[in-house]
Each structure stands twice: as C-alpha cells, then as structure tokens.
C-alpha cells in the first residue's frame, strides 16, 4: 500500500527564511511543478508526486510514491486535508519518513546556504545596484538538484521554445511513456526512464509536438543507450569543462543547453553561465550597452560574468534571468 510521506521546512531557521516556492518553481529551472487554485504547488519528481504548501512560517511537503498500488483513494483523501488552514497540526520542522526528508533536503539543495552565496555576490560587486536588486527580487530561489537524464531531455526540448509549450511536450511524453501516480483522485505521470524511450521513433516524438527536436531526442536517447555518452560516468569527472565537452556530444545539446543541465541537474555546477536571449538582453542592458543586443559577443558576456560572479556565476545568472523576465510581464 502506498505510504504518505511528509516533511516540513521551518522558515524560522535563518538559512531557510527566504525560501519561496513561487520563485523556485517559476524561475525557469523546472517544468513539472504547477500552481494550484489554493496557491499550493504540485509536482512530479522522480517516483514521487509532491504537494508543497507554503505559509509564512513553514513549507510542508507531502509526497506519494508509485508502488504499483492503484487503490490509493484513502490516502488521497488524507493528502487533500493538508492545506493552509490545517497545516498547523503538523509539527515544526519534521518528517514522518527519513528517506523522504533526505530526498527533499537534497532536491531543494537545503544544505547550501544561499544567504552566503548572496552576500558573496554582493561583496564582489559592492557598487552594482542592479545585481543587488535582482538578488533581493529572487532571494527565495533555490537551485533544484534534478535528475540528470530528465534535464537532458527537457532542455533539448527547450531549444527555441517557450516555457508553456516545453511543459506541455514534457507532460505528453510522461503521460505516454511514464508511470501513473494518483493524488487527490488526479492522475500524474513520472518522467519516463531511459529504457522507456529506447524504442520510441522520430515520428512518435513528432506526434508529441516536439517539432524539429524529434530527431535530436531520438539520437540522444540512442547515444545514451549505446553509452557513446555514459551519463553515469559523468559524475566522476572533476572539472566542469570536461562534463561540458561530454554533454556537447549529445544531439540537440549545445552550449546553452549543456550549461542549463550542469546548473539545474544534480551535477549542480554553479560555475556556468547559460546565455539565452534573456540573459543576453539583461547583460547588455546593465553592463555592455550595445545598440543591438543580438550582436553582443557571447564571449564578452562570459568573460564579464566570470569576472563579476566567479565560481557562483550560475546563481547570479538565475537572479538576473528571473528578475529581467518577471519585470517584462
């Protein structure tokens, strides 16, 4: 029988005080978390469906795991009862399952002190009021430790695409090839494993709406299956550039996608600076001031980021990206 798992983050703890679900889930790093009518978030992560509820004082995660048991109605009812009004019945900063707690700690990167990261960025750029503003704006962001394989496929889909559509394609992919989990009577689907996609054809990717990315997905799946690129071995590489080179062998993985994989997966390399249209725009607006943002040299952006933000430039990128994008809308 499926078990309900819970874990609570206490926002009274200094390190956790700024954490924001909205900022973390809507800063563009993940595609499978969706806001609910009650302002909670529900997401599929690995084999879990997780409901996250945030209040002023804490964040409560409730997870249910797929164990091939379809008779989960009673459990679903229990989950349903966890809402803002009732969450006070749960003890502060605790969990009923050690594995789930460790899973959450790892996934939300809770061992890293983002306050320290932020101070470090400001210390390095004491007169940069825009950076300071962007950090203040996105201080609740945590860089998730997401599944490497899922990030590879997801960011191949992201190429020249918009976030709602990326999410739609990933959802269809999961529905067709992933496993079903039921929460509150609603069906969710885990992200397909490598083996689940081994026989998928180019045409079938096209049917999901992947467009011209169909061939890239097909090729990459086969490159990983054949171990032309061994994604398990990647974890053994010490330096970031070496991993970059390995990822770049995959079809549909260029410099920007490789950097996103490095930054948002559990490889968790902060010393990368993914440059997309938004980052080029914000870096040009703030620091470079070229008349045509499309003609800003990428190396110039990377050199500047390296100089200003150093080893944690990936986090700075995320603050600037989120700040600039949200301001637009």
| Interaction of residue 165 with DNA, rule CB under 7 A | yes
- CA triple 27-29-30, angle to 5 deg: 105
Stretch near DNA under the rule CB under 7 A, chosen from 132-140, 174-182, 190-198, 275-283: 275-283
Phi, psi of 227 (to 5 degrees): 65, 20
Quick one: which of 223, 255, 285, 308 contacts DNA (CB under 7 A)?
A: 255
| Interaction of residue 228 with DNA, rule CB under 7 A | no
Helix axes 114-124, 129-137, angle to 10 degrees: 170
| Number of neighbours of residue 44 by Cβ within 10 angstroms | 24
| Interaction of residue 178 with DNA, rule CB under 7 A | no
| Interaction of residue 43 with DNA, rule CB under 7 A | no
What are the beta bridge partners of residue 59? 9, 54
Quick one: which of 56, 164, 199, 291 contacts DNA (CB under 7 A)?
A: 164
| Interaction of residue 138 with DNA, rule CB under 7 A | no
d(CA 325, CA 322): 5
Contact letters for DNA, residues 143-162 (x by CB under 7 A)? ---------------xxxxx
| Interaction of residue 258 with DNA, rule CB under 7 A | yes
Number of residues that bind DNA (CB under 7 A): 40
d(CA 178, CA 326): 32
d(CA 43, CA 34): 6
Residue closer to DNA (CB basis): 15 or 165: 165
Helix ranges (H only) for the chain are: 21-25, 73-80, 98-107, 114-124, 129-137, 148-157, 163-177, 202-207, 214-225, 240-247, 255-264, 277-283, 298-309, 313-328
| Interaction of residue 256 with DNA, rule CB under 7 A | yes
| Interaction of residue 297 with DNA, rule CB under 7 A | yes
- The single-letter DSSP state of residue 91 is P
Tokens of 62: 């409730």
Residue closer to DNA (CB basis): 124 or 325: 325
Q: How far is the CB of 273 from DNA (least distance, A)?
A: 8
Residue closer to DNA (CB basis): 87 or 270: 270
Residue closer to DNA (CB basis): 144 or 182: 144
Candidates 274, 270, 328, 267; CA nearest to 301 is 274
Q: How far is the CB of 260 from DNA (least distance, A)?
A: 6
Q: How far is the CB of 256 from DNA (least distance, A)?
A: 4
| Interaction of residue 291 with DNA, rule CB under 7 A | no
Quick one: which of 278, 309, 319, 323 contacts DNA (CB under 7 A)?
A: 278
d(CA 310, CA 292): 26
Q: How far is the CB of 168 from DNA (least distance, A)?
A: 7
DSSP string, 227-272: TSS-TTGGGG--SHHHHHHHHTTSTT--HHHHHHHHHHBTT---S-
Quick one: which of 42, 240, 317, 324 contacts DNA (CB under 7 A)?
A: 317
- The residues, ordered by sequence, that sit 6+ positions from 177 with a Cβ below 8 Å of its Cβ are 192, 196, 197, 200
Quick one: which of 81, 227, 277, 327 contacts DNA (CB under 7 A)?
A: 277
Quick one: which of 257, 301, 312, 316 contacts DNA (CB under 7 A)?
A: 257
d(CA 4, CA 20): 24
Interface ranges with DNA (CB under 7 A): 27-29, 158-166, 206, 209, 211-212, 216, 248, 250-258, 260, 274-279, 295, 297, 317-318, 321, 325
């Amino acid at each position: 029988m499926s078990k309900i798992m819970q874990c609570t983050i206490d926002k009274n703890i200094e390190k956790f005080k700024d954490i924001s679900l909205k900022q973390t889930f809507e800063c563009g790093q993940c595609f499978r978390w969706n806001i609910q009518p009650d302002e909670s978030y529900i997401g599929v992560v690995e084999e879990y469906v997780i409901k996250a509820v945030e209040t002023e004082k804490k964040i409560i995660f409730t997870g249910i795991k797929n164990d091939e048991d379809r008779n989960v109605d009673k459990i679903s009812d229990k989950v349903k009862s966890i809402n803002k009004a009732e969450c006070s019945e749960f003890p502060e900063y605790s969990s009923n399952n050690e594995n789930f707690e460790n899973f959450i700690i790892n996934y939300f990167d809770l061992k890293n002190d983002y306050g320290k990261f932020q101070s470090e960025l400001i210390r390095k750029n004491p007169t940069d009021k825009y950076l300071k503003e962007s950090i203040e704006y996105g201080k609740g962001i945590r860089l998730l430790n997401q599944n490497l394989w899922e990030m590879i496929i997801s960011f191949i889909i992201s190429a020249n695409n918009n976030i709602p559509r990326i999410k739609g394609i990933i959802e269809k992919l999961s529905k067709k090839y992933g496993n079903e989990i039921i929460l509150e009577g609603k069906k969710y689907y885990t992200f397909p494993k490598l083996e689940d996609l081994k026989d998928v054809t180019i045409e079938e990717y096209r049917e999901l709406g992947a467009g011209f990315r169909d061939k890239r997905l097909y090729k990459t799946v086969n490159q990983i299956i054949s171990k032309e690129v061994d994604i398990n071995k990647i974890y053994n590489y010490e330096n970031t550039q070496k991993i970059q080179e390995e990822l770049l062998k995959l079809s549909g993985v260029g410099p920007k996608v490789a950097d996103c994989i490095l930054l948002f997966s559990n490889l968790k390399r902060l010393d990368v600076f993914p440059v997309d249209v938004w980052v080029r725009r914000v870096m040009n607006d703030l620091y470079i001031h070229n008349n045509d943002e499309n003609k800003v040299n990428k190396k110039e952006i990377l050199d500047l980021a390296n100089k200003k933000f150093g080893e944690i430039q990936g986090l700075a990128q995320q603050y600037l990206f989120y700040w600039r994008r949200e301001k637009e809308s």
